């Protein structure tokens, strides 16, 4: 779904009609996994808020014919997972960061570039205040402009040491900046779109050619940590929601609890117990945002996820998302 279909709050707190929303820019005042899943056109990404507190975000889009250039920045750390469109490749870049993230088990920081083949899965930890940008282009268009098919066949991270990365990042920054210098001054709309697409694809091709396909111990370490986090999450999904005990989950992972604690602290930034709570709160929020029945209640939604103490739950929910469960439910019914 396009960015122009995002809903946006007006000054009185009500949602405005889609036609009133600026298609090029969207400000997010609260965490909403449904709206964030639309951040990259045609993607099926799901998001979790990892950092605690009120959420603010911005999303921008520039459409260049069949190529879309999306960018965003969020005040809280997020976890993003899902699969991209089967017909388009995605080329992502970090323009600014306060700390490096991790994408598919690989470090991903400023001016690093990642390529996702059509239909590939993404698993990304996005630190707070990271300014990301993603180009989504039909594979046929990229190949037709001279980019080898094998360069688009696997997920690859191009480190910032590649000379072409800075040039690509600079172009992407200008494309998504509302106040930046126009890369193609005095060009008509059709000419600008064609010139932008041609230049962008040329720079993407140059970056792929200069790929320093580095591997090594650090990448393998990150991949093993990411895999352990996923295995922990699968164990968490199979556990009794009313009786989640970290030692019981650890026993089936083949690592010590000390190792699990270390991996979570270094890879996610929170403890396994806190992560389990974050996952549960995000599941509850996602359900509340999808509620259509007037008879649905917060209590029954929370209890389905193993919540026994509603008062404590409300406080935890507010600490995580910056709003009460009742406010989330009210938004879903507007």
d(CA 163, CA 288): 47
Q: Which residue has the tokens 């041609």?
A: 198
pLDDT at 119: 86
Question: Along the 334 residues of the chain, how does pLDDT read in single tens digits?
Answer: 234 333 333 333 333 333 333 346 788 889 988 878 776 666 778 899 999 999 999 988 888 888 989 899 999 999 998 887 788 999 999 999 998 898 888 888 999 999 999 888 888 999 999 999 999 999 999 999 999 998 898 888 888 887 788 889 999 998 888 664 444 333 334 445 567 788 899 999 988 887 644 444 445 566 788 888 889 999 998 888 888 888 888 888 888 999 999 988 888 889 999 999 999 999 999 999 887 666 678 999 999 999 999 999 999 999 999 999 999 988 877 6
pLDDT at 56: 94
pLDDT at 314: 94
SS3 of 217, please? helix
pTM of structure: 0.79
Torsion of CA 261, 320, 328, 323, to 10 degrees: 170
Which tokens is 129 given?
Answer: 């205040």
pLDDT at 192: 53
pLDDT at 215: 41
Q: Do 17 and 7 touch, CB atoms closer than 8 A?
A: no
d(CA 49, CA 95): 21
pLDDT at 191: 45
Which tokens is 3 given?
Answer: 């960015």
- Strands (E) across the chain are located at 25-28, 46-49, 57-64, 67-74, 78-83, 88-96, 101-103, 106-108, 113-116, 121-126, 131-138, 156-158
Give the count of alpha carbons within 13 A of 254, CB side only.
5
pLDDT at 17: 32
């Amino acid at each position: 779904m396009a960015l122009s279909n995002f809903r946006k709050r007006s000054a009185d707190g009500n949602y405005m009609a889609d036609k009133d929303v600026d298609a090029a820019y969207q400000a997010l005042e609260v965490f909403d996994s449904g709206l964030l899943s639309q951040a990259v056109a045609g993607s099926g990404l799901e998001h979790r808020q990892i950092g605690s507190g009120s959420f603010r975000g911005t999303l921008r889009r520039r459409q260049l014919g069949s190529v879309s250039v999306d960018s965003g920045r969020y005040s809280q750390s997020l976890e993003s997972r899902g699969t991209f469109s089967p017909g388009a490749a995605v080329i992502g870049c970090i323009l600014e960061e306060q700390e490096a993230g991790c994408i598919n088990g690989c470090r991903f920081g400023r001016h690093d570039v990642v390529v996702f083949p059509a239909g590939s899965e993404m698993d990304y930890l996005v630190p707070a205040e990271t300014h990301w940008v993603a180009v989504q282009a039909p594979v046929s268009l990229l190949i037709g402009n001279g980019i080898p098919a094998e360069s688009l066949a696997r997920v690859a991270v191009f480190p910032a040491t590649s000379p072409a990365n800075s040039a690509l990042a600079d172009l992407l920054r200008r494309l998504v900046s509302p106040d930046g210098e126009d890369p193609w001054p005095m060009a008509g709309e059709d000419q600008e779109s064609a010139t932008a697409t041609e230049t962008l694809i040329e720079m993407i091709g140059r970056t792929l050619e200069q790929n320093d396909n580095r591997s090594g111990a650090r990448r393998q370490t990150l991949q093993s940590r990411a895999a352990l986090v996923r295995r922990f999450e699968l164990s968490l999904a199979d556990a009794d929601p009313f009786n989640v005990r970290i030692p019981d989950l650890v026993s089936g992972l083949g690592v010590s609890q000390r190792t699990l604690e270390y991996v979570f602290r270094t890879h996610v930034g929170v403890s396994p117990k806190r992560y389990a709570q974050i996952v549960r709160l995000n599941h509850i929020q996602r359900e509340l945002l999808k509620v259509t029945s007037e008879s649905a209640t917060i209590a029954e939604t929370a209890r389905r996820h193993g919540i026994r103490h509603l008062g404590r739950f409300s406080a935890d929910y507010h600490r995580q998302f910056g709003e009460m469960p009742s406010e989330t439910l009210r938004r879903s019914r507007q």
